[in-house]
Structure formats: C-alpha cells, structure tokens
A and B are shown apart, each in its own frame.
Chain A
Amino acid sequence: MAAIQSNMKSESGLISRLANNEMLLGYLFILPSLIGFLAFYAVPAVRSVFISFTEWNLLTEAKFVGLANYQDIFADDRFWRSLQVTLTYVLWNIPLQTVLAVFIAVMMDRIHNSSILRGFIILPWLMPNVIVALLFLWLLDPTLGIVNIFFEAIGIGRQSFFGSPDQAIATIAGVNIWRHMGYNAILIFAGLKTIPRSLYEAATVDGATGWKQFWSITLPLLRPVLVFVIVTSVIGSFQVFDTIAVATQGGPAGATRTIIYYIYQEVFERRISMGTATAASVVLFLILVTVTIIQTRYLNANQSDLAEYS
C-alpha cells in the first residue's frame, strides 16, 4: 500500500515537476512549430547554402563549382536591377503602410471599436494574395478597369498602373498596403491596449493635448509592438512575389522584377539553374539579416519605455 502510494506520489511529482519547469513546458508548446520551422525553413536554408556552390538543374547530378554562381549573378545586370527594384518597392511600401496602420489603430482606440469594424479592417488580409492581385488587375485595367473610367470622368485621365514602368512598382506597393495595413493596425491596436489609461489621465490633467499625448505617450510606449510590425513587414516586403507573379510577371521591361522574382525566373523561366537561384537567395538572406539587426539595435526592440513610468 505504501509502495503504491509512494509510486503514485513520485509520478504526480514528475508531472508537477514538468509543469513547474517553465522552460521545458515552453519548449513543448513551441515543438509543433519548431518541427515545421526546422523541416521547411532551417534545413532548406542550410541546404541552399550548399546548393549555391554547385551547378544543378534538379534532374542531373549537382557539380561543385565554388563561387562561380556568385560571380555569375554579380556580373548580371538583371540581378543588380532587381535589388534596386526591391528597394524601391520597400520604400514605397513600408512607410505608408505603417503610418496608415498606426492611424487606423489610433482611430479605433479613440473613436470607435467594435468586433464588426475590426472584422472589416482585417478582411483584405484574409483574402488570398492571388485573388487580391486579380481583383486589382481588373479594377486598374487601363482600358476596361472601373478606376480608369472614374479617373477619366473626373478629369484626371487614364493611368497605366501595372502597364507603365514608372507606375508599376508603386501600384504593386499600393495593392499590398491595402492588403496589409488592416492586419498591422490590429497588431498596433493590441499594443495600444497595453498602455495604462492613467498615463493619459495624468497627461490631460497636466494640460497635454491629444497630439502631444500621441507623440509623448502613445508612440514611445508602442515601440515594442511597432518594432515587431516594422521588422516583420520589412522582411515580408523584401520577399514580395505573388502580386507580381499574377499582375506583371516582372514586367513591363523588367520594372517589377524584384529579387524573389529574379530567383524564381532563374529556376522556372530563364533556365533551371538552382545554383544561381540559391546564390541570390543567400545574398537576400544576408541583406535581411543586416537590415533586421540594424532595425532592432536602432529601435531598442527589447526594452519598453513603460518601465520608466512604473
């Protein structure tokens, strides 16, 4: 009897020890996504570094070629142009998207906020990328699109949008701003909710206006959330692909060939060259790591200003 009891005790002791070991429990919780991360991101990422040193068309044996693929892409004007196109896209995309998201979040916080409204705001993000791209392809069509019919009616005149080398990248940025700003607004809105109301009350008593409150309280205290939103959207922005694949296929005349589209073409359109495609991916990876480190350092991502107030 005593033996059984002690056995039971030790068993429940194990479970409770497990439950109390937060670290272990934490790992258990992230295990499912950790498996996915390893299988679909980490392992392929490491593999592609190896592939980038080989000449490989997926069907025949890979051949080690050293740095030849890197020399190949660095000598390719299309590669450099694709980096330039990508950067232009990011500069169109991120600032506008973030400002709009903050604006929507603050409006939701101050004026009106219901689950129905939040549903509408996040709706564009729930639509598949391909559908969004097709939708805008029709809306913005130079000859038959309703937007151009409207523009013509109010005297602005027809715009080429996706068809013009000058407008195409900004148009794609616009489509993706429309798609992502609601999602980012919801994230920022959640961040707003963590700011203690008492701070605003105190500020009001001290005579600070709404605008002053926004600059001195809201924005600084929102920083951890904002950094998260900006870092993830910059990474996503550098990797823009689906809208381009559907709407412009990198055209007109290469004006929307971003780095990811360049990588895609290396394997599926221009030739089947895994070596140069992965070499370009490695370069993109290094760029993203650098950009992210700079961002997190510069924006002090891991500390919140809230500590100073408490």
Chain B
Amino acid sequence: MKRRFSLILTLMVILLLLVTSVQAQDGVTIRYVLWDTSQLPPYQACADLFHEQNPGITVSIEQLGWDDYWTAITTGFISGEAPDVFTNHLAKYPEFVALGQLVDLQPLVERDGVPTDVYYPGLADLWTRDGARYGLPKDWDTVAVVYNVGLLEAAGVDPAIMEEWTWNPEDGGTFGETIAQLSIDANGNNGLSADFDPTNVVQYGYAGNGMGGPYGQTEWSWLATTTGWIHNNGVWGNEYYYDDPRFTSTIQWLADLWLVQGFAPALDQQTSLGRPALFQAGNVAMIVDGSWMIGTYLASEFEVGFGRLPIGPEGRRSMFNGLADSIWVGTENLEESWEWVKFTGSADCQNIVGQSGVVFPAIPEAAALSQQVRADAGVDVSAFVEQANEEGGTFLFPITDYGGEINTIMTEAMDSVGLGTGSAADILPAANAEVNDLFQ
C-alpha cells in the first residue's frame, strides 16, 4: 500500500516536471533594459500587451540608473550577459557599432516591410550608418525653459515675454535682462540695479547644471547653435568646431552669469544632487531642461511653467535627441527580440507611452497624445512640441566616433572655463585641437 502510494507520487512528480519543462520550452523570455525609472511603467504596460499578442514571448524588463547603465552594458558584452534588447543613446551607440555589438536591423526591416517614415523626420536616420540600421526610434526630446511661476509674479515678470525674448552672446538680449531682473541680493536689489551685490545673492535668475561636456544639450547648445555655430561637420562628422569664436563667446557669456554677474549659482556651488533639487529648493527663478524631465518638475511644491527658448541671432534652436531600442549581437533569440523592437517602435506601444505623458513618442500621433494628457491635467508643455514642429527649430545630436574620448577632453575643458580657471577663448581652442587629433 505504502509502496503503491509512493509510486503514484513519483509518477505525479515526473508528470509535473514534464509539463513544466514543456511549458518552458514553449515560451521565450527576452531581457530588456532601460535607465529611466519614469518610463518603466509604460514600457511594462507595453510588455504586457506584447505578451498578450505573442503568448510565446515574455519580456522581462530591468531598470538600471544612468550612471551604471553603460558600464553594465559594456561588461555584459564582454561576459556574454548583456540583455537581448536595450535602450540605446546617440552618444553611445557609435562605439558599440565600432565594436560590432549591435544587430543590423536593415535586412529585417526590409524583410518585414517595416515603415521607417512614420516617425518625426530625421529620427530614424540618426540610427543608420553606411546603409546599416541599429535601432528603431522610440521617442524624441527637445529642451525649453522651466520657471517658478511664483517668483516671476513677485518680480513682475510676465511669462508672455518668453514668446518673443531674444538672446545674443554680447549683451544677453532680453533673455539676459530677464535673468538680471529675477536675481535679487540680500538688500532686495535686483540684477538690473547698480547697487546689486553679486557676492550676496538670495535669489538667482538662472541656474545651470554643470558645463554640459561636449554636447551641452540642456546647458548651452540652445544658445550656441542660434549663432549659426554647430558642433561638427554633420552626422558622422570628423571635425569639431569648439574653437569657433561664436562658440567660445557663448560659453563665456554663460560662465560670466556666475563668475561675474552673480545671476546664477557658481559651478562649484551647484548642488551635486542635480538641477531639479536646486530648482525645487525654491530660490532659482528659471532653468532650461529637457522634455523627459517634465514629470519631475511638476512634482515641485510650487507652480511650475514651461516657456519657449530665447530667440538668438539666427532663431530658436533645440537639440533634437531621441532614444531607440537596439538588439545585442549575442542574443540567442534574435527573432523574438526583433518582434519586441518592432513593437516598441510601433503605434501600439508608442500610444501607451504617449498616454503616460512621461516622454514624447517618436510617432507624431502618439506624441500628440502625450501633449494632450498634460493639457488635460492643466499643464502647457507646448513649448517643447512647438520647438520640434518649427521649421529649423531643431538640430540633430552630433553623432561621431570617439564619443568617450571627446567626453573626457571636453568635460575637463568646459569645467575649467566654468570654474574660472581660464577664459573660454584660451582653453577651448586647445581642447578642440585635441579632439580633432582623434580623427587623424
């Protein structure tokens, strides 16, 4: 009796093992990594819908902070533990291409007839080189002014000025004037007054966040490029222009905001906790930041508004940057990974992401959804969208080889200018020569 019971038990266990192993063979799990915590919920929703449509494929999403993200991806390539699919950045992917770590998606795009013209113009092309394609666009971003509504009111500044304010590297234009007007010293004088004491400032008109290294996406590119200057000679270029007087004068104007004027916290006094923390402490009137940060600023304890960038000598310009999903060459599930990349690049997923409002998806209709969600909540984020839609309102991220080297050289040089170690006109041309030597 006992023996029979154990026999049945053994059979049942074997049966159970068989069933589960069959199930495991049936389904494929692919690993997907991203760095932005606020995008985790919408992409989890995408993964759930994807699993419904493709019951055989499960997407397991991991989130890793930006600082560790790239080290983890690189070591993953080497150890063979990299995720099947990962969110990629324009500053980083050229090095991965050079190392032969990304799957060329072009043959798959052609085989399956995937449309690459459904995205904002230019976005899909950023991910191609010599006929190969290394990602399908997921989203885009621009930068705009973020301001503390209460501080502007108190100083009598009408946010409507942002529709037409101007900037130039010589005197800063009305943008510079507004910054001065919003800076207040301990005696209550604002920056326009001759009595303003730059060494004893209680409220800053503007705050930067570091010096922006080689790209200055949110730090200076929206100023420098309005002078007609551009980082380099185009996508996959081999020459940088950090020695151009239009560039050096822009950087000097910015650094003087704190080195001379006292209108912004000095570089070494800017909190290491990041620009949102500084802004949310409540004594900074305006900053410039990217559209992916909208949600963070809306969580402030005071009312926050988003305004247009100043109009420079050659108009308004914002960097147009975008993320894409790439497939690692070491994946064991190429077809399933490709299905997932196709899905995150499709309207099905991008509409979900759009409805979450956290970023602007690469497909215009989905991006409109994102804007609508914010508008329904009473927040006007049109400053970011108008910038993207404007003729000539954007320039593309300067993709080139040697991203890591350029970052090391330029971060150091830009920091030196920001710290007042030397002038932009002295320091930056030498750094530029070092950068261009890389391409020799």
Interface: A162 (CB within 8 A): yes
Complex: chain B residue closest to A141, CB-CB: B271
**9 closest pairs, A vs B, by CB?**
A163-B268, A160-B268, A253-B415, A143-B271, A142-B269, A164-B268, A253-B416, A270-B408, A58-B78
Indicate if the CB atoms of A268 and B71 lie closer than 8 Å. yes
In the assembled complex, A48 has its CB within 8 A of some CB on chain B: no
Bound together, the chains give a CA A271 to CA B94 distance in angstroms of 12
- Asked if B164 is an interface residue, CB under 8 A from chain A, the answer is no
Assess whether A165 is in contact with B421, with CB atoms less than 8 Å apart.
yes
A1 interface contact, C-beta 8 A: no
User: Which residues of A are found within 8 Å of B268, using beta-carbon distances?
Assistant: 142, 160, 163-165, 252
Complex Cα gap A265–B278 (Å) = 29
Task: Confirm or deny: A144 has a beta carbon within 8 angstroms of a beta carbon on chain B.
Answer: yes
* Distance to closest chain A CB from B259 (angstroms): 14
Q: Is A158 an interface residue (CB 8 A)?
A: yes
Residue A251 CB within 8 A of the other chain? yes
Please, which residues of chain B bring their CB within 8 A of the CB of A164? 268, 419
A254 to B411 CA separation, bound complex (whole angstroms):
9
**Interface flag for B99 (CB, 8 Å):** yes
Is A187 interfacial (CB 8 A cutoff)? no
Interface of B is mostly: helix
Query: At the interface, yes or no: B101 with Cβ under 8 Å from chain A?
Result: yes
- Is B281 on the interface with A (CB-CB < 8 A)? yes
Residue of A nearest to B100 (CB): A59
Question: For window 72-103 of chain B, which residues contact chain A by CB distance below 8 Å?
Answer: 74, 77-78, 95, 99-101
Measured CA separation A23–B271 after assembly (Å): 58
Cβ of B277 < 8 Å from any Cβ of A?
Answer: yes
A162 engages B74 (CB within 8 Å): no
CB–CB A247/B404 < 8 A? no
Provide the residues of chain A in CB contact with B278, threshold 8 Å: 143-144
A288 CB–B CB distance under 8 Å: no
Shortest CB distance A299–B (Å): 39
The secondary-structure label for the interface of chain A is loop
B363 within 8 A of partner (CB)? no
User: Given A59-B77, A268-B71, is A143 in contact with B415 using a C-beta cutoff of 8 Å?
Assistant: no
Contact status A163-B269, CB under 8 Å: yes
Among B77, B271, B277, max chain A CB count under 10 A is at B271
- Could you say which residues of chain B place their CB within 8 Å of the CB of A247? 272
A300 on the B face (CB < 8 A): no
Taking CB atoms and an 8 Å cut-off, the chain A residues in 148-165 that contact chain B are 158, 160, 162-165
* In the complex, chain A residues whose CB is within 8 Å of the CB of B265: 142-143
Binary CB contact string for chain B from 418 to 437 against chain A (1 if under 8 A, 0 otherwise) = 01010000000000000000
B270 at interface, CB cutoff 8 A: yes
Chain A nearest CB from B40 CB (Å) reads 22
Q: Please determine whether B99 and A59 come into contact, CB atoms closer than 8 angstroms.
A: yes
Chain A hits for B407, CB < 8 A: 269-270
One of A144, A253, A271 near B405 (C-beta < 8 A): A271
Interface on B for A, CB 8 Å cutoff?
Answer: 70-71, 74, 77-78, 95, 99-101, 265-273, 277-278, 281, 402, 404-405, 407-408, 411-413, 415-416, 419, 421
Q: Given the complex, which residues of A lie within 8 Å of B412, measured CB to CB?
A: 251, 253-254
CA distance A141 to B70 in the complex (A): 26
- Give the distance to chain A from B423, nearest Cβ to Cβ, in Å: 14
In this complex, what residue of A is CB-closest to B284? A143
In the complex, 30 of the A-B residue pairs with CB atoms within 8 angstroms, ordered by the A residue number, are A59-B77, A59-B78, A59-B100, A59-B101, A137-B272, A138-B273, A142-B265, A143-B265, A143-B269, A143-B271, A143-B278, A144-B277, A160-B269, A162-B272, A163-B267, A163-B268, A164-B268, A165-B419, A247-B272, A251-B412, A252-B268, A253-B421, A254-B412, A265-B408, A269-B408, A270-B407, A270-B408, A271-B402, A271-B405, A272-B74
A84 to chain B, nearest CB (A): 15
* Interface flag for A10 (CB, 8 Å): no
State whether B416 touches A270 (Cβ < 8 A): no
In chain A, residues 196-249, which have Cβ atoms closer than 8 Å to a Cβ of chain B? 247
Bound form: Cα–Cα A160–B99 in Å: 40
Say how far B270's CB is from chain A's closest CB, in angstroms.
7
Residues on A with C-beta less than 8 A from B415 are: 251-254
Given A57-B99, A59-B99, A160-B268, decide whether A144 and B273 contact each other with a Cβ distance below 8 A: yes
Complex contacts, A142 vs chain B, CB 8 Å:
265, 268-272
| Binary per-residue interface labels of chain A (123-137) against chain B in the complex, 1 for a CB within 8 Å, 0 otherwise | 000000000000001
Minimum Cβ distance to chain B for residue A266 (Å): 10
Cα A158 to Cα B419 with chains together (Å): 16
Return chain B residues, CB-CB under 8 Å to A254. Answer: 412, 415
Q: Are B419 and A253 in contact (CB under 8 A)?
A: yes
Q: Which residue of B lies closest to A253 (CB)?
A: B415
A163 cross-chain contacts in B, Cβ below 8 A: 267-270, 272
CB contacts (< 8 Å) of A160 on chain B: these are 266, 268-269
Rounded to whole angstroms, the CA-CA distance of A268 and B412 in the bound complex is 17
| Smallest CB separation, A139 vs chain B (Å) | 11
* CB-based nearest B residue for A81: B412
In the bound complex, how far is the Cα of B271 from the Cα of A158, in angstroms? Answer: 12
Contacts of B101 in A (CB 8 A): 59
B interface footprint on A251-279 (CB within 8 Å = 1, 0 otherwise): 11110000000000100111110000000
B426 smallest CB distance to A (angstroms): 14
**C-alpha gap A134/B71 in the complex (Å):** 19
Contact between chains at B269 and A251 (CB < 8 Å): no
Q: Complex Cα distance A78/B405, Å?
A: 12
* Docked pose: A57 CA to B74 CA in angstroms: 11
Determine the chain B residues whose CB is within 8 A of the CB of A59 once the complex forms: 77-78, 99-101
How far is B421's CA from A291's CA once the two chains are assembled, in angstroms?
33
Query: Smallest Cβ distance from B337 to chain A, in angstroms?
Result: 20
How close is B89's CB to chain A, nearest CB, in angstroms? 14
From residue A79, how far is it (CB to closest CB) to chain B in Å?
Answer: 12
Residue of A nearest to B408 (CB): A270
B421: chain A residues at CB < 8 Å are 165, 253
CA distance A247 to B271 in the complex (A): 12
Q: Assess whether B404 is in contact with A270, with CB atoms less than 8 Å apart.
A: yes
Bound Cα distance from A172 to B411, whole angstroms: 20
Q: A144-B281, A160-B268, A253-B415 are in contact. List 13 more A-B contacts (CB 8 A).
A: A137-B272, A141-B271, A142-B269, A142-B272, A163-B272, A165-B421, A252-B267, A253-B412, A253-B413, A269-B404, A270-B405, A271-B402, A272-B74
Kindly state the separation between the CA atoms of A306 and B100 in the bound complex, as whole angstroms: 64
Q: Which residues of A contact B404 (CB under 8 A)?
A: 269-271
CB A78 to nearest CB in B, in angstroms, measures 8
* Alpha-carbon distance A270/B268, docked complex (angstroms): 24
- Chain B residues near A269: list those with CB within 8 A: 404, 407-408
CB A257 to nearest CB in B, in angstroms, measures 9
Q: Which residues of A contact B402 (CB under 8 A)?
A: 271
Cβ B405 vs Cβ A143 within 8 A? no
Question: Complex Cα distance A58/B74, Å?
Answer: 10
Task: List A contacts of B267 (CB < 8 A).
Answer: 163, 252
